[in-house]
Amino acid sequence: MNEIIDKIAFNYSNLEKETISSWETNSKIIEYKKGEQIVKEEQQRHKLFYVIKGSLKAYYINDDKKIIDWFAFKNEFITSSTSFLTDEPSLHYIETMEDCVILVTEKNKE
């Protein structure tokens, strides 16, 4: 886990010790298979996903059409912004495009 958090700090921003400690407490590594929906529309998901391996897409349905508006690849983040930031139900689905290893961080676990 420390190696992953170090990589995040290197790629994005230096992290304070308190932030790193909180991240370690509130995170776990989960493996998902290709095609798994890890967030569904109307779900409240207070999770931030960091891609260690694999790729994901976020999409919504409009007039029975799937509109993809976000991709996340290795060393990138993805979340349901609406749900994560405002505690409202998700407007998106988030789905794996291949087998994935993801660092999943709970917003309010502490």
Residue 58 has pLDDT above 80, yes or no: yes
- Summarised one tens digit per residue, pLDDT across range 64-97 is 999 999 999 999 999 888 777 777 888 889 999 9
pLDDT band at 108 (very low <50, low <70, confident <90, very high): low
Per CATH, the architecture of 28-106 is what? Sandwich (2.60)
CB atoms within 10 A of CB 55: 17
**Secondary structure E strands in the chain:** 27-32, 37-39, 47-53, 56-62, 65-72, 77-79, 93-96, 100-106
- Residue 110: its pLDDT value, please? 47
pLDDT band at 14 (very low <50, low <70, confident <90, very high): confident
The share of the chain scoring above pLDDT 70, in percent, equals 96
- Which three-class secondary structure state does DSSP give residue 64? coil
Residue 4 has pLDDT above 60, yes or no: yes
The share of the chain scoring above pLDDT 90, in percent, equals 48
**All structural domains of the chain with their residue ranges:** 28-106
Query: Whole-model pTM?
Result: 0.85
